[in-house]
Amino acid sequence: MYPRSIQPTLAEALKDTPVVLLNGARQTGKSTLVQALRPGFRYLTLDDPVVLAAVKSDPFGSIADLDEPTCLDEVQRAPELFLAIKAAVDKDRRPGRFLLTGSANVLKLP
């Protein structure tokens, strides 16, 4: 993996923030970076059709089942997850719970 100047900032954010979003263009190394940064994280990619179908069919249940720090890769594929993540964080604000990656502007998603 190439050294990434954002890596220390990302690691620091995960120490005190429940949800961190790493957003950027496709094929720039976001997934590789998060897997190297937090090897103990549970890693789920929404590029996997089985994972995508599961979270789309039951976003609140899918998030409720995550009791360990989790990376959700390509989160823009299931915008219905955002309300479920918000509800989970409202109940438990432990830092570093969710590390999200995306290649679309999530603020512009419906």
Query: Structural domain boundaries of the chain?
Result: 7-95
* CATH superfamily for domain 7-95: P-loop containing nucleotide triphosphate hydrolases (3.40.50.300)
Taking 3-state DSSP, the helix, strand and coil percentages for the chain, each rounded to the nearest 5, stand at 45, 15, 40
CA 55 from chain centre, in angstroms, equals 13
pLDDT given for residue 15 in this prediction: 93
Residue whose structure tokens are 């039951």: 58
pLDDT along the chain (110 residues), means of 10: 79 93 80 78 93 96 92 92 96 94 65
How much is the pLDDT for 100?
94
pLDDT at 108: 54
Give the pLDDT score at 104: 63
